[in-house]
Amino acid sequence: MIAVATFLLHCATAWRYGYFRDELYFIACGGHLAWGYVDQPPLVAFVAWLARPTHDAQFALRLLPALAAALAVVVGMQITRELGGGRFARALAGIAIALLPAYLLLGNLLTTTSFEPLSWTLVVWLAIRMVRAHEAGTAPTREIALALAASVAFGLYGKYSMGLLVAALVIGLLVTRERRVLASPAIALGAVVTVLLVLPNLLWQATHGWAFLAVLAGDAAHRHAFNDGLVLETRNLASNTLAFAAEQLLYTNPLSAPVWIAGLIVPFTRRPLRALRFISIAYAVLLAVAVVLEAKGYYVIGIYAPLLAIGAVEIERAAGALRVTLFAVLAAVAVLTLPLSIPVLPIDGFIGYTKALGMTGRDGTPARLIQPVYAEEFGWERLTRDVAAYYHALPPAQRARTAIYADTYADAGAIDFYGARYGLPHAIGSQNTYWLWGTRGYDGSSLIAIGATRYALLRTQYASCRLLGTSDEPLKWVVEGPSPIYLCTHPLAPFATIWARLRWYGA
């Protein structure tokens, strides 16, 4: 019942705002199906491709993420059941997983992280089953090993961070007595099957110079603060550790922290759950690696559903009044803060809601949209319309040879998605896989260039780069300012040379 309610909640709200920036890119990737992309495995592009018969309707694009969010609840509750949790433990786990702020966001958008709560929970659940089978004196079955292989492959086709989870779990097993399960022939079989399943994507990355590694380096190099001054990743290890820890509380709801923290501790305090210590150790490994690598806080978000499931078993043992109070307060706060994680309110209503909470509009300043994910869902059609006005103002002869160049995949995706209704050709772009798709036959003699990240370089490649104007979307204030639009003419080198110099990998 909780899983069904989760699915219906996402379906009821998936249409409210606009397309998220990455979704526009994934829609473009869905038109270029491949076994891999510069910055991602192929799953999200395939999901976007499935929505093409609906003309990429938001509801269709987000249907499978909503289903994944509901299934994560199902698997989490199954973990609780298998560990001996009763009705209260299962309900607590289900509610906590369903209303986890990060999971609400991920189930309402198509992103590479949308399937992580499900895939990570599946992998941990199957690892628990293998360990418990070994603990009971029976060898892990081939069926469980194959299911584990399929779950790992599913996770890797969604996002490569699944590899980090697998490595952390293996380390957790190696430093506990449960290491013996790794010697099982079923584990070896599962490892071989996993490699075979993901081999097409590995070959794609190999033939493209392991481009994803360059993306990781570029991602670290191009991060910037939000316009409200918030900085989440820094070069200072101590401050990065504090920020990362704060993000974990923010993404999981501080009131659910007692539940997942209990899930970390209880394997060391209760003999029946002792075999699960490897999960707690894996969590510590995940956090340590993420902090050292300056990873974004949500990169380990998939681990929390299993921890909530384990913790719920322990919370159930508490005194009746205490556990009921925790359940009621957690659920009430999660519902009251729901608008921060899922678009249950119209955008003006949401801004008013955050103003009432004192999050914006203080000291006489104007109230603004400060939720960065929501902010990234606005302004894309306006940008396309503004570009179209400059494009159609060009003399016909020049317009025929003018390419529309975007320096980010989001801007390029917006032109590709909305451009047809404004008479625009497809965009060319220099970020990530857009760069691989090339120049679409343009000679580069005339370029409408969107964005500022490559402007300094463009000025060295063209004799003339003139600012035509800007496209401003006030609702995007927290993530970026007005987008500049330039006209670049009289190239100083062949376009193939310029194109090679414009390439940049990163997020």
Model pLDDT, residue 317: 86
Judge if 285 and 147 occupy the same domain.
Answer: yes
Q: Which two tokens stand for residue 274?
A: 């002792």
Q: What pLDDT does 230 receive?
A: 46
| Same domain assignment for residues 153 and 295 | yes
On whether residue 125 sits in a domain, the answer given is yes
Is residue 123 a part of any domain in this protein?
A: yes
Same domain, 185 and 114: yes
The residue out of 284, 308, 340 marking a domain boundary is 340
- 329 plus 433 within the same structural domain: no
CA distance linking residue 64 with residue 397, whole number of Å: 45
Asked if residue 143 is part of any domain, the answer here is yes
SS3 307: helix
Q: pLDDT tens per residue, the chain (507 residues)? A: 899 999 999 999 999 899 999 999 999 999 999 999 999 999 999 999 999 999 999 999 999 999 999 999 999 999 999 999 999 999 999 999 999 999 999 999 999 999 999 999 999 999 999 999 877 767 668 899 999 999 999 999 999 999 999 999 999 999 999 999 998 889 999 999 999 999 999 999 999 999 998 888 877 666 555 444 444 555 567 777 888 888 998 899 888 888 999 999 999 999 889 999 999 999 999 999 988 888 888 889 999 999 999 999 999 988 677 788 888 888 888 888 999 999 999 999 999 999 999 999 888 889 999 999 999 999 999 999 999 999 999 999 999 999 999 999 999 999 999 999 999 999 999 999 999 999 999 999 999 999 988 999 999 999 999 999 999 999 999 998 899 999 999 999 999 999 999 999 988
Backbone torsions φ then ψ of 214, nearest 5 degrees: -65, -35
| Domain assignment present for 477 | yes
Q: Which of 310, 340, 370 is the last residue of a domain?
A: 340
129 with 15, same domain: the answer is yes
Q: Give the tokens for residue 26.
A: 């994934």
Instruction: Give a yes or no: residue 224 inside a domain.
Output: no
Tokens of 366: 């104007």
Number of domains observed in the structure of the chain: 2
> In this structure, is residue 405 part of a structural domain?
yes
65 & 139 share domain:
yes
Query: Which domain covers residue 84, as residue numbers?
Result: 2-212+233-340
- Does residue 445 form part of some domain? yes
Do 140 and 36 sit in the same domain of this protein? yes
Q: Are residues 163 and 279 in the same domain?
A: yes
Torsion angle defined by CA atoms of residues 147, 149, 150 and 156, in that order, rounded to the nearest 10 degrees: 150
Q: 332 and 417 share a domain? A: no
Do residues 174 and 307 both lie within one domain?
A: yes
Domain boundary (284, 316, 340) is at 340
Question: Does residue 24 belong to any structural domain of this protein?
Answer: yes
Q: Cβ–Cβ contacts within 10 Å for residue 438, how many?
A: 11
Query: Judging by DSSP bridges, how do beta strands 402-406 and 428-429 pair with one another?
Result: parallel
Torsion of CA 113, 115, 118, 123, to 10 degrees: -80
Q: Is the same domain home to 183 and 288?
A: yes
Same domain? For 397 and 474 the reply is yes
Direct distance between the N- and C-terminal alpha carbons of the chain, in angstroms, rounded to an integer? 38
Backbone angles phi, psi at 453, to 5 degrees: -70, -25
Tokens at 78, concatenated: 């199954």
For the chain, the residue count is 507
